[in-house]
Amino acid sequence: MEVNNTAFVSPLANAQYELPPSSGFVDRIAQQVNFWTLSLTLLLLAITYDQWSYKLQKHGIVGPAWKMPFIGPFLESVRPDFRKYQAKWASGELSCVSVFHKFVIIASSRDMARKIFNSPAYVKPCVVDAAYKLLRPTNWVFLDGKEHVDYRKGLNGLFTRQALEIYLPGQEEVYDKYFKEFVRVSKEEGKPKAFMPIFRELMCAVSCRTFVGHYMPEKVVTKIAHEYYLITAALELVNFPIILPFTKSWYGKKAADMVLDEFAKCSAKAKVRMAAGGDVTCIMDAWIKQMQDSAKYRERIAKGEEVDASEKPPQLLRDFTDWEISQTIFTFLFASQDATSSACTWLFQLMADRPEWLAKVREENLRLRDGDRNVRFSMDLLESMTATRAVVKETLRYRPPVILVPYLVKKDYPITPNFTAKKGQMIIPSVWPATHDPEAYPDPDSFDPERWISGTAEQQVKNWLVFGTGPHYCLGQTYAQLNLMAMIGKASIFLDWEHFPTEKSEDIEVFATIFPQDHCELVFTDRPE
């Protein structure tokens, strides 16, 4: 053995080690371990790990015995089937699926859903992975705990009764325009047409007018209305987790960027107009006015002026940049667009199919306007409606637009004595089972607005999860319901419409929210005075 004392190496490192003669068996194995066998072994190990980890996570709740390797039910979730959701809800109050890397827990019962909605210490709204990219991670809807509560307080003033009254004329203008459009489209078509896409456009136009008034040119409103479905598609519960070119998420991101850009432009215009003393006509005006009033108040205080308490704005807001304002207004559009489009579609379908209720709505709307159908919307008018309100409430119960709300577990959550949801898992409180609970709403599968007038539906507050509950309950719930009442009430006195049912009219399509599968085949005509 040669020893090299000048090198910083162990003398043994240079030793010649002679391998023992190999056995034939080891040799043969070594020869066979080529690239393919190694890959196959790794794949089998990964599949085993995937199944094992799924089984471990699902311990204590109901779920398929095995999952499709890696992707789980991804392919079938690309076109979600409402009956599969129903099967899940029927399988137990907590059940699960695993899609790609995400373990998803579905809570079906009313009490389990309420428990999750009301556990902000353990969960926060999750939306979907793509939502962070589309809405931007800095968006207020992703704030949590006190930060979220504080931000939200600053928005409450935009949805007070007084504020909602201000937005009514803008909304009515949009209905005037679109009701004419409904009749024109039906005439031009000469046969029944699926109105769901037109209802989506209508709802988008109503939202844009309510949120940003006349700052947005009509052609931009129409562009957003047309492209918004790309955003919905990108935000479906199950989507490819990364944004690859030409995928749904990619198209959705492009559309979202365009909408954010347009809202930022509106904000810049609104700031100038409000600073010049313009009147409040939309949510953006109302918010910016609050900011500018707060700034003026702070300035007076800073100058040492004595300011009477009555002059202090109800909420002191900081200044928000155009980009921040745009992001927040975008969340309103995002939260309202699919849900109100769903409710609008079902409302028109249900009213056509239940002419006795449409007649009651019509009678009420004419009576409250003293027989003059040209009387414009007002809060007093809307708040004195009984039948119209019952019809809207029952539509939302019977076909709740949002059937489930995804939340993210932010720390291990012992939801039952037997099951702890783990940090990072998705947990989904469901809405549909609570609104179809026969104990709260007898004969839940029948559409019966009367239950809101002479029945006990109004008392079932625990089951009324249509707008969620807890710290994230829907900010726009009063606005949304009044808006739907205003819409169907006005339609009842200005329009006649006929539904042409198909075998799919009662089947439910899930596209973020729910729609009749045939997209609601209708014909509209003008109603003579």
User: Which 8-state DSSP code applies to residue 468?
Assistant: -
Q: Residue 57 or 477: which CB sits closer to ligand HEM?
A: 477
479 binds ligand HEM (CB under 6 A): yes
- Produce one character per residue of 244-259: b if its CB has 16 or more CB atoms within 10 Å, e if not: eeebbbbbbbebbebb
Interface of this chain with ligand HEM, residues 65 to 124, rule: CB under 6 A: 117
Q: Which stretch binds ligand HEM (CB under 6 A): 99-107, 108-116, 328-336, 347-355?
A: 328-336
Complex with ligand HEM: residue 229 or 332, whichever CB lies closer: 332
Nearer to ligand HEM, 243 or 404 (CB): 404
In angstroms, the CA 342 to CA 275 distance is 38
| Cβ pair 127, 105 in contact under 8 A | no
Least separation in angstroms between CB 153 and ligand HEM = 11
266 labelled binding-site residue:
no
Contact 116, 438 (CB under 8 A): no
Q: Please report, as residue ranges, which positions from 244 to 273 form the binding site for ligand HEM (by CB under 6 A).
A: none
CB 110 within 8 A of CB 465: yes
404 phi and psi, to 5 degrees?
-155, 155
Minimum CB distance to ligand HEM smaller for 96 or for 405? 405
Q: Is 468 in the site for ligand HEM (CB under 6 A)?
A: yes
- Interface size with ligand HEM, residues (CB under 6 A): 26
Query: Residues 213, 401, 449, 489: which binds ligand HEM (CB under 6 A)?
Result: 401
Matching residue, tokens 């043994």: 12
| Sign of the torsion angle spanned by Cα atoms 117, 119, 120, 123 | negative
User: Per rule CB under 6 A, is residue 152 in the interface with ligand HEM?
Assistant: yes
Nearer to ligand HEM, 63 or 401 (CB): 401
Are the C-beta atoms of residues 435 and 444 closer than 8 Å to each other? yes
Q: Is 470 in the site for ligand HEM (CB under 6 A)?
A: yes
Is position 487 an interface residue for ligand HEM (rule: CB under 6 A)? no
In DSSP notation, 497-523 reads EEE---TTTTSEEEESEEEETT--EEE
- 397 part of the interface to ligand HEM, by CB under 6 A: no
By the 8 A CB rule, do 426 and 406 touch?
yes
Strands (E), 390-446: 407-409, 413-416, 419-421, 426-429
Q: Is 171 among the residues that bind ligand HEM (CB under 6 A)? A: no
Is 511 a residue that touches ligand HEM (CB under 6 A)? no
Nearer to ligand HEM, 259 or 523 (CB): 259
State which of residues 88, 472, 490, 519 lies at the interface with ligand HEM (CB under 6 A).
472
Q: Considering only CA atoms, which of 391, 407, 408 is closest in space to residue 486?
A: 391
Closest CA to 487 of 203, 206, 175: 175
Name which of 288 and 466 has its Cβ closer to ligand HEM: 466
Contacts 24+ apart (CB under 8 A), 271-279: 271/322
Minimum CB separation from ligand HEM for residue 413, in Å?
16
CA distances from 131 to 232, 253, 405, 508 (A): 10, 9, 14, 24
Closest contact distance (angstroms) between CB of 327 and ligand HEM is 12
> Should residue 331 be labelled a site residue for ligand HEM when binding is judged by CB under 6 A?
yes
Which residues, numbered 113-142, are part of the site for ligand HEM (CB under 6 A)?
Answer: 117, 125, 141
Nearer residue to ligand HEM within complex by CB, 195 or 332? 332
Name which of 127 and 523 has its Cβ closer to ligand HEM: 127
Q: How far apart are CA 518 and CA 501, in angstroms?
A: 8
Find the binding residues for ligand HEM in span 333-372 (CB under 6 A).
335-336, 339-340, 343
Decide if 73 contacts 99 (C-beta within 8 A).
Answer: yes
In the complex, minimum distance from the CB of residue 424 to ligand HEM, in angstroms, rounded to a whole number: 19
| Least distance to ligand HEM, CB of residue 377, Å | 16
Q: Which of 200, 136, 168 is nearest to 512 (CA)?
A: 200
Site residues (vs ligand HEM, CB under 6 A): 117, 125, 141, 152, 331-332, 335-336, 339-340, 343, 401-402, 405, 466-470, 472-476, 479-480
Binding residue numbers: 474
Binding residue numbers for heme: 474
